[in-house]
């Protein structure tokens, strides 16, 4: 038995956080040792960095290094040790988010971000990444609806910024063979079953 590392990616309101939660709940009810983390955040330092990132203006490079500090703290102190204890580790976002947001959307050099991310993550890549991809119109409508309860600094960006991220993920998915695109328009339970079907093929614990 070995650890198994799963990440979820997607634009704002793609449904990835709900699917991460559904997956960890499934593991709990089936007595599969699983641990859910999120980025930025997941550690005490990471949660403080998350608050800075989502509330204060930072330059694109400052954003990347804040995210990277959170990421390396999380990888070294939680993700790696849990995998060594044979846990299924589920992360709501990982370094691919930085490629989409700070790279494709904010204009930082993708190759530089990939190189630094390798050091930041101690070379740890997921076994599988589920890219939740609702149609652009559905994701947009959900984000507009979320305005009623309040948006953070990044969610408040202009529409063209969000469109760049939407397109970026489609490009990123082609560069990593462990990316699996999941259509995000169906109801959450249908999506959850599709995710489980994929996982059952990869690890007998599911
Ligand atoms: P969340 O919406 O998934 O909770 O993520 C918080 C925000 O942080 C979201 O707007 C995306 C942003 N973000 C980046 O810009 N780059 C990153 O590398 C990560 C992990 C998140």
Q: Give residue-wise pLDDT tens across range 30-86.
A: 999 999 999 999 999 999 999 999 999 999 999 999 999 999 999 999 999 999 999
Question: Order of strands, edge to edge, in the sheet holding 179-183?
Answer: 34-38, 88-92, 4-9, 128-133, 179-183
**Looking at the domain assignment, is residue 22 inside a domain?**
yes
Residue nearest to atom 15 of ligand 1 (CA): 101
Percentage with pLDDT > 90 across the chain: 99
Cα distances (angstroms) measured from residue 161 to each of 70, 90, 107, 155, 177: 23, 27, 11, 10, 26
Q: Are 30 and 203 in contact (CB under 8 A)?
A: no
Cα distances (angstroms) measured from residue 78 to each of 3, 42, 55, 91, 165: 12, 8, 25, 11, 28
**Looking at the domain assignment, is residue 170 inside a domain?**
yes
**Looking at the domain assignment, is residue 134 inside a domain?**
yes
In the reported structure, the alpha carbon of residue 53 is separated from the centroid of ligand 1 by a whole-number distance in angstroms of 9
Q: Which of 154, 155, 156 to mutate to test the pocket of ligand 1 (most atoms within 8 A of CB)?
A: 154
| Dihedral (Cα; 104, 165, 62, 60), 10-degree rounding | 60
**Looking at the domain assignment, is residue 205 inside a domain?**
no
pLDDT value at position 96? 98
Residue 141's domain comprises 4-200
The enclosing domain of 185 has a CATH number of 3.40.50.300
Q: Which of 19, 39, 149 to mutate to test the pocket of ligand 1 (most atoms within 8 A of CB)?
A: 39
Task: Locate the ligand 1 atom nearest the alpha carbon of residue 17 and give its number.
Answer: 3
Better-scored residue on pLDDT, 1 or 129: 129
In the reported structure, the alpha carbon of residue 82 is separated from the centroid of ligand 1 by a whole-number distance in angstroms of 23
In the reported structure, the alpha carbon of residue 40 is separated from the centroid of ligand 1 by a whole-number distance in angstroms of 6
Q: Is the CB of 121 under 6 A from ligand 1?
A: no
Quote the number of domains for the chain: 1
**Looking at the domain assignment, is residue 206 inside a domain?**
no
**pTM of the predicted model, to two decimals?**
0.97
pLDDT tens-place string over residues 102-129? 999 999 999 999 999 999 999 999 999 9
Does residue 1 surpass a pLDDT of 70? no
Task: Locate the ligand 1 atom nearest the alpha carbon of residue 40 and give its number.
Answer: 20
Task: Locate the ligand 1 atom nearest the alpha carbon of residue 96 and give its number.
Answer: 18
Residue nearest to atom 16 of ligand 1 (CA): 98
Average pLDDT over residues 182-197: 98
Percentage with pLDDT > 70 across the chain: 100
pLDDT mean across residues, the chain: 97
**Looking at the domain assignment, is residue 186 inside a domain?**
yes
CA-CA distance, 197 to 201, in Å (whole number)? 7
């Amino acid at each position: 038995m070995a650890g198994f590392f799963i990440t979820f990616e997607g634009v704002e309101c793609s449904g990835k956080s709900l699917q991460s939660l559904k997956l960890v709940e499934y593991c709990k009810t089936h007595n599969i040792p699983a641990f859910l983390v999120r980025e930025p955040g997941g550690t005490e330092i990471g949660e403080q960095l998350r608050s800075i990132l989502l509330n204060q203006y930072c330059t694109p490079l400052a954003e990347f290094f804040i995210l990277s500090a959170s990421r390396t703290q999380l990888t070294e102190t939680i993700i790696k040790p849990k995998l060594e204890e044979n846990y299924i580790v589920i992360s709501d976002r990982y370094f691919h988010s930085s490629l989409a947001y700070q790279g494709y959307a904010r204009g930082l050099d993708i190759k530089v971000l990939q190189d630094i991310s390798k050091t930041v993550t101690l070379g740890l890549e997921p076994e599988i990444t589920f890219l939740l991809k609702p149609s652009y119109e559905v994701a947009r409508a959900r984000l507009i609806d979320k305005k009623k309860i309040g948006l953070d600094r990044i969610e408040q960006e202009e529409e063209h910024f969000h469109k760049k991220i939407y397109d970026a993920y489609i490009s990123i998915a082609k560069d990593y063979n462990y990316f699996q695109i999941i259509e995000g328009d169906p109801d959450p339970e249908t999506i959850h079953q599709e995710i489980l079907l994929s996982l059952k093929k990869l690890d007998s614990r599911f």
